[in-house]
Structure 1
Amino acid sequence: MSSRTAAETAADAEEIGVDESFDRYARMVRRAIDVPVALVSLVEDHRQLFVGAQGLDEKLMELRQTPLSHSFCQYVVADEAPLVTPDARVEERLRTNLAIPDLGVIAYAGFPIRDQQGRVIGSLCAIDDQPRAWDGEELAALEDIAAAVTTEIVQRQQRRAASAGAARDRYLSQRSGLLLALAESLTATRTVVDVAAAVDAVAREHLGALVAGLWIAEDDAVRRAADLPGSEGSPGTLRYVPHLGEQWESARLNGELSADERNPIGRALLENRVLWFPDTDAQNAVYDRLDLSRQVGQARAFVPLTHRGRAFGGMAVIWPERRDLGRDDLATLEALGRYTAQALGRALLVQEQSDALLVLQSALQPHLPESDDLLMAARYRPAAARDQVGGDWYDAVEMSGGVTSLMIGDVVGHDLAAAATMGQVRATLRALAWAIDEAPSALVAKLDRALDDLGVEAMATLTYLRIEPRDGTSERTLLWTNAGHPPPVLVCPEGKVRFLGDSDPDVLLGVDPDAERTDHRVTVPRGSTLLLYTDGLVERRGESLADGLARLADSAARHGRQPVGAFVDGVVGELVGTEQADDLAVLAVRFV
């Protein structure tokens, strides 16, 4: 590669300049690999200029440059190769560089950025002020973003030249926008459906595609790419991922495909390469066993989605017109597949963790006792965010002598720890209720002290109720104590709704194990319905609790005459629908 003159390096810096676009690339680096500082640095004869920067102190952000005595990026330019060190203080070449004592540079990973002649003019780098072992995924992300920065620089230089490379210029702009848009879109994804929607939107806007979609391997068919096809004779199944708003009928008709050479997505995954057809005739001549009745578009690409040796599935991108595949198109599709596979890996991991939490949460929910004079129904609903499974719970225990104890609570938190703590609180209270015949306030006080003595770090709300045996009348006596929990609802036989508890509730569990607790008493007529619930049923962002309780009272009155199971489903469906911000538990008892 030819060397650059001082005039050329100065021209590069003047042409490119400090720019918000390059700051965005620095932000991408910080988000992608979680480092304190990220730079887009151009190296001149006597200084390095930070045309893009994130994480520098205020003074250095204003200067946007340092002398080469404080530069590691100069070695990326000199070597025309990446420079990666977990600890510069032990590197012979770097340990005397003033960037270490003056700027706090300890760990450094920099990749070359080039001009339109392919000459290395600077570095995209990530910096940590602590020793750090850079992993392969982090370095691959840096390399991809450095390539996007190079694309941005080349694009600007080509625009200035205004030469016959206009077509190439458009491609570079497209690819740069695609990678940036895709990285930003995928950063916000949490589920497989989110990833599918993001890819479809980016392909439409930045590739001019008609539609794009994902087929992912079933959980038991996700294999290492080297192991495809399966040795057991079954190739595994790839399933289409529909998302909100898409209307790709052909994809739905071919929604279940084998992970083998009998279809283009399976073949792309099997051979781990992009499969391209310039039009439908070219594809259909090879794959005539697909359902082609609703086929759309012309040119089509099938991209394998693999990451770290794992085969997650495949992607199809369809264009409305006939197209031939160029080298630049291939590179863009490969980058699209790489980014998408990484996002799928994260989404599937979140899904696996969430599924484990849901199994744990479901296992901790009790079986309700059956009784001729107390009809019960309960529901547990996790939050709409799949990883938000937490500490909401309910329980019902039938005691000797005809007493029935009801419990509902909410342990603070939305993770595995909250679910585990919930199990400890529930089990301890159930044991106390079975073993000790005392008033609710006394049992809850014992529970609070027991959790403190056992070292269970739990902060929770709780309502504990005791339904006394019949005393020869048609009414039942209900005793309860409330530790910071939303008030129970009683729907009377004539349809009147009241909340139980005229005063403020007692303090939460886990705040003061010696706190005084209060019992309350009410007489409940036959035909009444008692509803216990956690705050996920009534709390809404931007709305007061009083408004939520009013909505609950109205809904309970409307559904109060339905069978107890239908009553619960009606209230939950009306108040939260299918999307909810918090998990919730509901327990209802009909007195008959």
Structure 2
Amino acid sequence: MLDSPARLCAVGRLGLGPRADVAFDRIAVLVERLIDAPVSLVTVITADRQFLPGQVGMPEPFAADREMPITHSLSRHVVQAGRMLVVEDIRADPAMRDNPAVHDVGAISFAGVPLTDSDGQVLGTLAVMDREPRTWTASEIALLVDLGEVCSSELRLRIAREIADEARRAAESAHDQLTLLGELTETLSATMDIDEALGRLGRMVAGRLADWCVVALAEPSGAVRHVSAAHFDPAYAEDAERLARLAADAPRDMKAMLAAVQRAAGPVRRDAADPASLRRRTSTGEIAEIAERLGFDSYLITPITAPVGRRSVGALMLVNGAGRGVFGAAEEGTAVEIGRRAGQAVDNSRLYGRQRHVAEVLQHSMLPQLPDIPGIELHARYLPAQIGAAVGGDWYDAFVQPDGSVMLAVGDVSGHDIEAAATMGQVRNLVRGDAYGRDDEPGPLLSQLDRALHGLSMPAAATAVLVRLRPDESGYELTFANAGHPPPVLLRPDGEVEVWWEDPEPLLGLVPRDDRSTHRRRVLPGSTLLLYTDGLVEQPAALIDEGIRRIRTVLEDGAAMPLDDLCGQILGTVTRRDDDIAVLVIRLS
């Protein structure tokens, strides 16, 4: 009866421990005055303790401690019997005469009425004791029963209030956990870098679902791929990072944890964790030392589960210190859902990585090998957008004509997918096939390309810059045409930078135009020409002029730089890569 789970749950909801309670002390004083008993008690009884939230007349140390062992409790007999008990002489009562309270408290006579909750469970007593034999009168018993009802009503009110608070906290927790899941989904989908995603996951969970956590991920081969740890308190950040490093350097320990989760085929929860057991299961004692420092009183391990085949690919370990308490069913359910969503993110990342690799190989296979040309140094880069399929419509090209002139081209077919890349390959080949062996200037060549796109019914809209470079005795004659593309930029030998703005002409593939312009420039040896696509200079909510200003600054500061380094500096001006970038840098000697 004393250890009934339902009764102990109700006692726990009262929150009455070894301390005085003003309301129950007043009732004890009232009972003492009205019944004229030397000892008056309001008791609440757990499985092994009797608390005294209200008392008058108890000797020390019980009066100060407000508790006593269950062995000293006379009221426990009321709880066990489930009814009022009245004893004139405890020394003559077979059930009570050996109770240590006879000697330690001086209790000789006793009367106690049960205090009950709304379900009739006895939680404690309102009791009186005397230090000599006593016959309790009917009026005294009636008064004790009435005041016991007052105490029971107060207990029931407090339990109802706590149940309401629990419901409110549960609703808030459910809302918080739903919010966490929503934010987590957004975070996991915001990056395809799975190490970054799992690190963010840990930082989001720590403090909201647990005091701290460890996230581990395995490769399909079984090797440990990722370990990260996070604590809600920034003061423990270094400890968490150190623990993650130690765990990553102890793959056998992490494999054992992952294997345990796989065997369990579900979450593993321990409400009473012991750092000593962790010390036995890890290859280095420092892991256990750090865990104890972070707080290792309860934990919950849930698998990170891939959606296909429901296979476990990792584990999320949530840990609480003593202050936060144990994990409940709600936290377990949320943790399982986090593991499921993290598993989907892992699968998506791996699939994306495979697709991105294929796309990058495809993209680079469609871009040309730059020729070796005496007196002209060429360097090119292609960078895919950081989102999407890592393949798009940007391209560059350079080839030598039979007459010794050099054709240079940079273009951008609209789109960021396989179709755009395929169209780009066709447009680039059309440029080569149409221009090679002909003396036409870039303007007429782009007009012919426009006619070909329409005549062949190619669904392309593209920008392009086409340049013909002819060496002569004093340098180079350069002619170019621009179809809706960002302007070429020239770094002169004297360090000045020219941006070749011209009146804009329409994109290729929209409306055929027979009179595209050709522009002429004299270029001196020692100059550097930059051709590029709009991903280099266009940023959301910013003018293209700002992007061109950035590359001007790089060119002015990097005139003496090796071409490869200069190209890297130019690409470094891009703060975010929402679009593909193709860059062709030409240095003339």
Band the TM-score falls in, shorter-chain normalisation: 0.5 to 0.7
Show the counterpart of 1:49: none
Cα pair distance change 1:547/1:364, threshold 3 Å: same
Question: What displacement does 1:516 show?
Answer: 2.3
Question: What displacement does 1:540 show?
Answer: 2.4
Pick which of 257-266 and 551-560 moved more.
257-266
Question: What displacement does 1:164 show?
Answer: 4.4
Matched, 1:238 2:225: yes
Show the counterpart of 2:400: 398
In 1, the alpha carbon distance for the partners of 2:368 and 2:511 equals: 28
Show the counterpart of 2:277: 282
Secondary structure of 1:215's partner?
A: strand
In 2, the alpha carbon distance for the partners of 1:417 and 1:340 equals: 31
Show the counterpart of 2:492: 492
Show the counterpart of 1:411: 413
TM-score, normalized by length of structure 1?
A: 0.63
Show the counterpart of 1:529: 528
Matched, 1:319 2:306: no
In 1, the alpha carbon distance for the partners of 2:158 and 2:363 equals: 59
Structure 1 stretches lacking a partner, 5+ long: 1-157, 222-233
Show the counterpart of 1:69: none
Question: What displacement does 1:508 show?
Answer: 0.6
TM-score, normalized by length of structure 2?
A: 0.63
Question: What displacement does 1:305 show?
Answer: 1.2
Show the counterpart of 1:562: 561
Match of 1:207 among 202, 206, 209: 209
In 1, the alpha carbon distance for the partners of 2:388 and 2:259 equals: 29
Matched, 1:582 2:579: yes
In 1, the alpha carbon distance for the partners of 2:401 and 2:347 equals: 49
In 2, the alpha carbon distance for the partners of 1:190 and 1:379 equals: 26
In 2, the alpha carbon distance for the partners of 1:557 and 1:215 equals: 48
**Which string of whole-angstrom CA distances, capped at 9 and with x for unpartnered residues, describes residues 232-272 of structure 1?**
xx6344323699x9762321333377699842134314543
Kindly indicate whether the alpha-carbon contact (under 8 Å) linking 1:250 and 1:292 is maintained by their aligned counterparts in 2: yes
Secondary structure of 1:546's partner?
A: helix
Secondary structure of 1:509's partner?
A: coil
In 1, the alpha carbon distance for the partners of 2:172 and 2:447 equals: 67
Equivalences, count: 414
Structure 2 stretches lacking a partner, 5+ long: 1-156
Cα pair distance change 1:292/1:198, threshold 3 Å: closer
**Which string of whole-angstrom CA distances, capped at 9 and with x for unpartnered residues, describes residues 62-121 of structure 1?**
xxxxxxxxxxxxxxxxxxxxxxxxxxxxxxxxxxxxxxxxxxxxxxxxxxxxxxxxxxxx
In 1, the alpha carbon distance for the partners of 2:226 and 2:522 equals: 56
In 2, the alpha carbon distance for the partners of 1:351 and 1:454 equals: 35
One-letter amino acid of the structure 2 residue matched with residue 252 of structure 1: R
Show the counterpart of 1:452: 454
Secondary structure of 1:576's partner?
A: coil
Match of 1:267 among 260, 263, 270: 260
Kindly indicate whether the alpha-carbon contact (under 8 Å) linking 1:237 and 1:256 is maintained by their aligned counterparts in 2: no
User: Which runs of 4 or more aligned residues in structure 1 lie more than 6 Å from their structure 2 counterparts after TM superposition?
Assistant: none
RMSD of Structure 2 on Structure 1 (CA): 3.2
Cα pair distance change 1:546/1:400, threshold 3 Å: same
In 2, the alpha carbon distance for the partners of 1:344 and 1:179 equals: 21
In 1, the alpha carbon distance for the partners of 2:511 and 2:176 equals: 56
Secondary structure of 2:505's partner?
A: coil
Kindly indicate whether the alpha-carbon contact (under 8 Å) linking 1:259 and 1:265 is maintained by their aligned counterparts in 2: no
Cα pair distance change 1:290/1:347, threshold 3 Å: farther
Question: What displacement does 1:565 show?
Answer: 1.6
Pick which of 519-528 and 340-349 moved more.
340-349
Kindly indicate whether the alpha-carbon contact (under 8 Å) linking 2:533 and 2:581 is maintained by their aligned counterparts in 1: yes
In 1, the alpha carbon distance for the partners of 2:535 and 2:349 equals: 25
Show the counterpart of 1:361: 363
In 2, the alpha carbon distance for the partners of 1:272 and 1:475 equals: 74
**Which string of whole-angstrom CA distances, capped at 9 and with x for unpartnered residues, describes residues 498-518 of structure 1?**
1224x3132111111344211
Kindly indicate whether the alpha-carbon contact (under 8 Å) linking 1:269 and 1:303 is maintained by their aligned counterparts in 2: no
In 2, the alpha carbon distance for the partners of 1:478 and 1:418 equals: 30
Kindly indicate whether the alpha-carbon contact (under 8 Å) linking 1:445 and 1:515 is maintained by their aligned counterparts in 2: yes
Alignment of 1:470-549 (within 5 A): 470-471=471-472, 473-501=473-501, 503-549=502-548
In 2, the alpha carbon distance for the partners of 1:547 and 1:330 equals: 51
Matched, 1:308 2:295: no
In 2, the alpha carbon distance for the partners of 1:202 and 1:261 equals: 22
Alignment of 1:158-197 (within 5 A): 162-164=161-163, 170-171=169-170, 173-188=172-187, 189-191=189-191, 192-193=194-195, 195-197=197-199
Show the counterpart of 1:295: 290
Show the counterpart of 2:244: 251
In 2, the alpha carbon distance for the partners of 1:368 and 1:263 equals: 52
Secondary structure of 1:179's partner?
A: helix
In 2, the alpha carbon distance for the partners of 1:412 and 1:262 equals: 47
One-letter amino acid of the structure 1 residue matched with residue 190 of structure 2: R
Question: What displacement does 1:207 show?
Answer: 1.3
